[in-house]
Amino acid sequence: MSTITRRRALGAAASAAVGIAAGRALTAPDRAEAATARPDAAAPETFDEIYLGRRIQGGPQGGGHHGGGHHGGHGGDYAVRVDGEELHVMRNADGTWISVINHYEPLATPRAVARAAVRELQGAPLVPLTLV
Amino acid sequence: MTVRKNQAQLTAAEKRSFVNAVLELKRTGRYDTFVTTHNAFIMSDTDDGDRVGHRSPSFLPWHRRYLLEFERALQAVDPTVALPYWDWTVDRTPRASLWAPDFLGGTGRARDGQVMDGPFARSANRWTVSVRVDGRDFLRRALGAGGRQLPTRVEVDAVLAMETYDMPPWNSASDGFRNHLEGWRGANLHNRVHVWVGGQMGTGVSPNDPVFWLHHAFIDKLWADWQARHPRSAYLPAAGTPNVVDLNDTMRPWNDVTPADMLDHTRHYTYDTAA
């Protein structure tokens, strides 16, 4: 329940901010981020930044703040959030990453996946999704 | 017997029947159950855990059964309808008749990716995206955005030439036909087409775009073409593989069908061309 409240609050703020950045989002894909990840990469870094007006965070999950949502579906141990809402991500065998927003296009790092999701969302809020 | 035809060869009446049957499944809520099922599998299939619908040998038989279920649902609305397939090596630009307003409608507008024409445009009020991962309820596409190119016939033929169906570790890192067709390795066929279409087709809820079925019907046909070229190559693995659907294991969510049951498509439908 608190998740929805937070999403609404942050989503509204993010929508206002992203309007300014939307043009850039469409024309500046991070090509460098698409480089192939090295195999057997170490655990990916923790990050927390504002990208195109939205807060993206990534790091090992397991903190008390995790709501037990859809992330459990694939047994991953790393969580990515966009404006506080969890973005479902998955690590491929070769160390590359995908998300539910870009599911067919592996990128090198979770941060690259989070940034790609922000560009693809064009200001829209993520919707919590449960496995049925 | 159902005959699956190249979408480019459909008559105006066949296009209309297909579109109307899809819209009827959407109206009754049946369509969205297919989207939900696909997303549940795409989020739970992992390279180092249980994997059934994607990134595994059962990618092909799983989608064959999934398409059969959808085609049967369409035929319950209109028995004359069959799934068409999209040969994206030939019809490879946004100007193809596939994307005309009398069929699937075109690409999305620049501002928000919204599809503005055709029967699946939000403004027609018959296609609200309900099973979604973000707040947008309209169909989106970005056909060929960023100069992306669809796979070529040469690239397809190189994958069809691979003799071995699939190989350990039976996931997105595998060599062999299945993973090259799926696209996690090599020239990238199936995955790249999802990305080329863009919008919902690039996401876990990709069946929200009706082109999903035409794309996968062609992937399914390429499996049949591969079988015809390699009659001595079998589905692999045969038995005893952890986390992976072996030849005679049942597949979720149906639990009454095995890859072995799905090897011969002619029990269910034929294609308009010889393999």
Report the C-alpha dihedral over residues B251, B255, B261, B265, rounded to 10 degrees. -80
Q: Give A84 to chain B, closest Cα distance, Å.
A: 14
pLDDT band at A130 (very low <50, low <70, confident <90, very high): low
Nearest Cα neighbor of B167 from B57, B68, B257, B17 is B57
Is A72 touching B (CB cutoff 8 A)? Answer: no
Q: Do A92 and B202 touch (CB under 8 A)?
A: no
Q: Write the pLDDT tens digit of every residue in A51-69.
A: 999 999 999 975 434 333 3
Whole-number pLDDT of residue A42: 61
Report the C-alpha gap between B132 and B168 in whole angstroms: 34
Whole-number pLDDT of residue A45: 85
Nearest Cα neighbor of B118 from B135, B97, B144, B145 is B97
First to last CA, chain A: 19
Residues of A in contact with B43 (CB under 8 A): 70, 73-74, 88, 90, 100, 129, 131
pLDDT tens digits, chain B, 275 residues: what are they? 899 999 999 999 999 999 999 999 999 999 999 999 999 999 999 999 999 999 999 999 999 999 999 999 999 999 999 999 999 999 999 999 999 999 999 999 999 999 999 999 999 999 999 999 999 999 999 999 999 999 999 999 999 999 999 999 999 999 999 999 999 999 999 999 999 999 999 999 999 999 999 999 999 999 999 999 999 999 999 999 999 999 999 999 999 999 999 999 999 999 998 54
Whole-number pLDDT of residue B274: 59
Angle between helices B190-197 and B211-229 (to 10 degrees): 160
Is B207 touching A (CB cutoff 8 A)? Answer: no
CB pairs under 8 A between A and B: 91
Residues of B in contact with A90 (CB under 8 A): 43, 46
Q: Among all residues of chain B, which has the CA nearest to that of A128?
A: B133
- Select from B43, B132, B173 the Cβ nearest to the Cβ of A131: B43
Q: Do A93 and B48 touch (CB under 8 A)?
A: yes
Report the C-alpha gap between B198 and B141 in whole angstroms: 5
Total residues belonging to chain B? 275
Contact between B113 and B105 under an 8 Å Cβ cutoff? The reply is no
Report the C-alpha gap between B19 and B166 in whole angstroms: 35
- The helix (run of H) or strand (run of E) holding residue A49 is strand A47-51
Is A36 touching B (CB cutoff 8 A)? Answer: no
Sheet holding A78-82, edge to edge: A47-51, A54-60, A78-82, A85-87
Q: Do A74 and B43 touch (CB under 8 A)?
A: yes
Beta bridge partners of A54: A51
Catalogue the E-assigned strands of chain B.
Answer: 2-4, 269-271
Residues of A in contact with B46 (CB under 8 A): 74-76, 90
Report the C-alpha gap between B205 and B223 in whole angstroms: 23
Is A106 touching B (CB cutoff 8 A)? Answer: yes
Q: Write the pLDDT tens digit of every residue in A70-89.
A: 444 454 689 999 999 999 99
pLDDT band at A129 (very low <50, low <70, confident <90, very high): low
Q: Of A92, A103, A119, which to mutate for an interface test with B (greatest number of B Cβ within 10 Å)?
A: A103
Whole-number pLDDT of residue A76: 65
Beta bridge partners of B108: B115
Is A29 touching B (CB cutoff 8 A)? Answer: yes
Scored b (16 or more CB within 10 A) or e, B56-81 reads bbbbbbbbbbbbbebbebbeebeeeb
